[in-house]
A and B are shown apart, each in its own frame.
Chain A
Amino acid sequence: GAGVSQTPSNKVTEKGKYVELRCDPISGHTALYWYRQSLGQGPEFLIYFQGTGAADDSGLPNDRFFAVRPEGSVSTLKIQRTERGDSAVYLCASSRDNQETQYFGPGTRLLVL
């Protein structure tokens, strides 16, 4: 079946702009996660959704970052007033529930100029 999909695959923006990154989880997966992977590093946890609600957003670096999942399926990660340090690969993962294996999407490569 279809895996996790993410759009866009690449995004180039200018410092100060607003961006939205989209994640389509595997159908039927109730848990959804966002991670950020900087160059040469492993992914770091940002936020976890169970259904429609953000159960843990402790990994979001500051209040410029926000994520939603209004219908319990697709999620959007929103970054306001982007900074060059936000440049990274943003990975989305989903799982059947929060104790099950997480399956990752291909990521969105964000470059802030």
Chain B
Amino acid sequence: GEDVEQSLFLSVREGDSSVINCTYTDSSSTYLYWYKQEPGAGLQLLTYIFSNMDMKQDQRLTVLLNKKDKHLSLRIADTQTGDSAIYFCAVSNDYKLSFGAGTTVTVRA
């Protein structure tokens, strides 16, 4: 099946930018997603990118996709304490989502 890898932890100072990276193996993935999970909660869709795009910006969020290297990143500008959470990269193969293990982002004052 699809293999999705993410680094496990990221610590960032409030106000700085956060960059979360993800690599995947299936080049036929059509949509690539970023979900956010806060403690005890479900998954909140943050943003997604279609595989024929290389960049998408949505307010403080910027998604970059390098299809050749099968690398996806999420940049959060001006990181706030409310951004502390686990961030999951997910890639779609038809209807099935394959997730990474999640990156825990800790925002320090």
A interface residue numbers (CB < 8 A to B): 4, 6, 31, 33, 35, 40-45, 48, 55-56, 91, 93, 95, 98-99, 101-107
CB distance from B53 to the nearest CB of A (A): 15
Does B97 belong to the interface (CB within 8 Å)? yes
Residue contacts A-B, CB under 8 angstroms, 21 given: A4-B42, A40-B101, A40-B102, A42-B4, A42-B101, A43-B88, A44-B99, A48-B96, A55-B95, A91-B42, A91-B43, A98-B95, A99-B30, A99-B95, A101-B31, A101-B45, A101-B48, A102-B45, A103-B45, A104-B42, A105-B42
Main SS class of interface, B = strand
Q: Is the CB of A43 within 8 A of B45?
A: no
Across-interface contacts of A102 in B (CB, < 8 A): 45, 97
Number of interface residues of B (CB under 8 A): 22
B interface residue numbers (CB < 8 A to A): 4, 30-31, 33, 35, 41-45, 48, 88, 90, 94-102
